[in-house]
Amino acid sequence: MAEYQKIEYRIGKDGKITETVIGATGSSCTETTKGLEKALGEVDDRELLPDYYEGEETITSSQTTTLNQI
């Protein structure tokens, strides 16, 4: 069953649009709004809420390369 998501838009007096996704976690927040953001134009700033990081796994890896000179 699909999860219910709500998108809230606030338009300031200066014309700045603030978008908030409610009821979504992880990358589904940004996927939900991708099309509309593209239609509106360039995103100046993005502040990710704690819900974005909920349920996401963090994978950390490191790689070491040794270069031998002959």
The two structure tokens encoding residue 32: 């939900």
Which SS3 state, helix, strand or coil, does residue 35 take?
helix
CA dist 65 and 43 (Å) reads 37
Task: Give per-residue pLDDT as tens, 2-56.
Answer: 567 888 989 889 988 888 888 888 888 888 888 888 887 888 888 888 888 876 5
Residues in the chain: 70
Calculate ∠ Cα 60-64-68, nearest 5°. Answer: 170
Per-residue model confidence (pLDDT) at position 13:
92
Does the structure show a pLDDT above 50 at 1?
Answer: no
pLDDT band at 62 (very low <50, low <70, confident <90, very high): low
